[in-house]
A and B are shown apart, each in its own frame.
Chain A
Amino acid sequence: MRPELAQSDSPDEVLIREVMSGSERAFRHLYRRHTPRLRVMVLRLVRYDDADADDIVQDTWLACCRGLHTFRGDAQFGTWLTRIGIRAARHRMAHALAEPTSLDPADAAVAATDGPSMDAAIDAERALRRLGDRDRIVFTLHYLEGLSHEEIARELGIATGTSRAILSRALTALRAHYGTEVP
Chain B
Amino acid sequence: MTDQNEFPRGDAERAWVASLARASAPPPGAEDRAVAALRREGLLGRRRVVAPMLLGIAAALLVFASGAWVGAHVARGGSVEGQLYRDDASLSQRVLVLQRAGSAYIRAMQRVAAVAPPDSIAAEVATQALTGAALAAARAHLDSDLSPRLVSFFEAARRGAATSSSTLIWY
Contacts and interface: CB of A to CB of B under 8 A. Distances in A.
B102 to A, nearest CB: 53
B149 interface: no
A58 B16 contact: no
A120 B19 contact: yes
Interface residues of B, number: 38
Main secondary structure of the interface of B (DSSP, over half): helix
Contact of B30 (A22, A43, A58, A164): A58
Contacts, number: 113
Given A58-B33, A61-B38, A120 B15 contact: yes
A124 B51 CA distance: 50
A168 B6 CA distance: 9
B29 to A, nearest CB: 10
Nearest to A66: B43
A65 B52 CA distance: 20
Contacts of B26: 35-36, 39, 54, 57
B1 interface: no
A163 to B, nearest CB: 11
Contact of A23 (B16, B27, B30, B48): B48
Interface of B: 4-5, 7-10, 12-13, 15-17, 19-27, 30-31, 33-35, 37-39, 41, 43-49, 51-52
Interface of A: 3, 19, 21-24, 27-28, 31-32, 35-37, 39-40, 43, 50, 53-54, 57-58, 61-62, 65-66, 120-121, 123-125, 127-128, 143-144, 164, 167-168, 171-172, 178, 181-183
